[in-house]
Amino acid sequence: MNTRYLGKHKLAVSEIGLGCMGMSFGYGPAKDKSEMIPLLRSAVEKGVTFFDTAEVYGPYTNEELLGEALAPFKGKVTIATKFGFNFENGKMVGVNSRPETIRKAAEGCLKRLKVESLDLFYQHRVDPNVPIEDVAGTVQELIKEGKVKHFGLSEAGAGTIRRANSVQSVTALQSEYSLWTRKHEKEIMPVVEELGIGWVAYSPLGKGYLTGKMDKSTTFEAGDLRTILPRYTTDAMEANKALLNILQAYAKMKNATPAQVALAWVMAQKPWIVPIPGTTKLHRLEENLVAAEISITKDELQEIENASAKINIIGERYPEQIEKATGL
């Protein structure tokens, strides 16, 4: 697998990473560790060097999983994690990016991931009660102390990115990006490109929808976040099939799957965008990684653009109260 570089500091990562949240959190019950550890190690063997986690995933258990699974590959893989929440009784209860909270989070992440320095440390969500300059300054101190290597932001707005970057260079922005979630292209992506910041695209497969494996009869387990997402209502999934039709047409043309075309589309947008599709199944991991071999020409990109521009995506990506909390 080829390498892509995030930010002006050129953090080298595999061109497709692995989002690990679903192994422990967000998509129903946590998966069995005895199955996830071999999956994570298989990813490394197949060329993946970039893994994404966060203290809130579990909470804590996803970092512990990666710490155990990736210990044999220390120095050969990049692990990104995130801070920025309060926890009570084992549950997340709101944002908190006060300097003392960031420091406490960093110490916990280091222990759980079994590393001496955090490769990429994101603010998970903007905290409206803490100036972003204070957040960036605290991470800068951690970098000087050798506890963190690179600073990142997640779902931050253009102004926030500029302010943070003026204090401590931001290596990467992690925000949702796919053929059906493009709201960041107009205002945020140009700022990221101007400042030389990499983009880590989470949910590049639309939380599973763009694989083409779901329809109006699909049901989700208790605890699956998609049960509350507007785009995953029966009506929305049926209405948004028009976008799937485009992916399926190009998949047939390229002897690929819709998921592979969706990932190839994300990668074709900019050389500094790295998608991090998540999975808990080896055959899906293998399917996703083949996307790195699929080429989409400029003419094909324009054809996809023209066709998708005619489609009105039904449903917001998050409920209103969650969308407001993204800090955009």
Catalytic residue IDs: 57
CA distance 272 to 131: 28
143 is written with which tokens?
């970098």
Phi and psi based region of residue 90 (left: phi greater than 0; alpha: psi -120 to 50; beta: remaining):
left
Phi and psi based region of residue 203 (left: phi greater than 0; alpha: psi -120 to 50; beta: remaining):
left
18 is written with which tokens?
């692995």
CA distance 174 to 152: 7
Cis peptide preceding 59, ω within 30 of 0: yes
Strand-strand pairing, 148-154 and 118-123: parallel
Compute CA distances 325 → 55, 65, 157, 182, 261, whole Å.
Answer: 18, 28, 11, 18, 31
Nearest CA among 56, 60, 17 for reference residue 40: 17
The residues facing 136 across adjacent strands are: none
- Cite the beta strand spans of 148-299 per DSSP E: 148-154, 170-176, 198-202, 273-275
278 is written with which tokens?
């998540």
